[in-house]
Structure 1
């Protein structure tokens, strides 16, 4: 077997594992939604309750996912599970900027109530541009202008034209 055939087979096995993980995720979400649908308040006109139909749907999704899991597990050789971890590490290293952007967004959303929309947006936009752009004096200057315009400019636009006041923050 050639190297390209081995790589293709490994790719298919890793794809099967990814599919299995998606089945497990959907199974867990449908189980959670099944129990959450049971908490929907009922009226006196409904014998089954308002959550009966959603529970029926989520039970069906749960059952389909369980069957898919049972049918998928025997298809995957044991060596493929170890390869999945290695492939995931390689992917995470290759796509590290995705994680940087998600972390910056999380910090931005947590900081906005304290810093206010304008200041939090200024820091978020400038910091993210510094992480993504090549750094030169020209790009830093442009990034600063973009951050100021889109943070304070949007705040002024919403406040003065749309009369929608964005979070002011403590500062």
Structure 2
């Protein structure tokens, strides 16, 4: 391996680490604020969320230090290629982002339209996006979506007596 390609590979690895440090920082900040919502009892002076907040703050602080160190290691030329490499990486994995977006939308609409309808739409949509589209596969996707949405709702309510979210409608 030539010295130039070795440097480029090292730089790409450092860029990947930088992205992971940002994700860890965002997660630790979110969990820090979520820990403040933990209910406290009258026997706790600091509160139930104090220890998780300390841990999340430490992880966030370490992430900031790692981000600064990572930025220091990436050469000036690496910043110019960063955008194009990330864009190319995202384009190669566009189906993953579509599926994650559909999952986020599914989670948001369950309380509004209910488990059965939201699950049917989510399962059918993701199957149609990910599979080859012909009449047979679309019929199979529709049957699968119906069974795993309304069928699971029936199973949980009738067999386990656990009621899944019905939604506003």
Q: TM-score by structure 2 length?
A: 0.77
Q: TM-score by structure 1 length?
A: 0.76
CA distance in 1, matches of 2:150, 2:35: 43
Match of 1:111 in 2: 109
Query: Where does the alignment leave 5 or more consecutive residues of structure 1 unmatched?
Result: none
Query: Is 1:140 the equivalent of 2:133?
Result: no
Query: Is 1:155 the equivalent of 2:153?
Result: yes
Evaluate the alpha carbon distance shift between residue 13 and residue 115 of structure 1 in structure 2; reply closer, same or farther with a 3 A threshold. Answer: same
Residues 69-114 of structure 1: CA deviation (Å, up to 9, x unaligned): 4544332210011111111100111000011111111221222222
Match of 2:78 in 1: 80
Residues 51-82 of structure 1: CA deviation (Å, up to 9, x unaligned): 77556655654554454445443322100111
Match of 2:14 in 1: 16
CA distance in 1, matches of 2:37, 2:109: 33
Evaluate the alpha carbon distance shift between residue 143 and residue 64 of structure 1 in structure 2; reply closer, same or farther with a 3 A threshold. Answer: closer
Q: Pairwise CA RMSD of aligned residues? A: 3.2
Aligned residues of 1:14 and 1:83 also touching (Cα < 8 A) = no
The structure with the larger Rg is 1
Query: Where does the alignment leave 5 or more consecutive residues of structure 2 unmatched?
Result: none
